[in-house]
A = this chain, B = another copy of it.
Amino acid sequence: MPFATAIHDRYFEDYIKGEVHTFGSTEVVEAEVIDFARKFDPQDFHTDPDAAARTVFGGLIASGWHTAAMMMRMYADHYLTKVASLASPGLDELRWIMPVRPGDVLSVRVSIVEAVPSRSKPDRGVVTSFIEVLNQRDEVVMSMRAVNMIGRRVPG
């Protein structure tokens, strides 16, 4: 279901418990998989197609951190408010469920688990989002439960 408000006019009040948002389309590109992994996660199965072919994965797979980063780009472009994001204290239960390979096309499904006003700060609320990253076969390749502090349109 779409948000009632555009991303430049989106506040805590627009994140409604139980709603599910799907968005984004990112192709996983081999050169980018290798580039990311050389910088941040230099394991053979992320950086070297030939060596990767000889592992249990049978070929190159993206670093789990690269998959997370690609998710974040879609989350920032489509879900997270552009005007009231007050950063994130963290996340729980991050799971890398299936390999992500060059040529895969990823998208995101977010289910809003909880949206509650902050007890200590009347200008914001706390939104808990269950995030799933899907591939082109609608298989869930990664999931996590993330928390964002979001500014309120009308402070309490």
Contacts and interface: CB of A to CB of B under 8 A. Distances in A.
A136 interface: no
B68 A72 contact: no
* Binding site secondary structure of chain A: mixed
Interface string A103-121: 0000000000000000000
Contacts of A23: none
Nearest to A73: B40
Pick the 5 closest A-B CB pairs, nearest first.
A40-B69, A90-B95, A90-B94, A40-B73, A41-B72
A6 interface: no
Interface residues of A, number: 32
Interface stretch (A11-19, A80-88, A125-133): A80-88
Given A40-B70, A69-B69, 18 more contacts: A40-B72, A41-B69, A41-B73, A41-B76, A42-B73, A42-B76, A42-B77, A57-B87, A63-B72, A64-B87, A65-B68, A65-B69, A65-B72, A88-B96, A90-B95, A91-B94, A92-B92, A92-B94
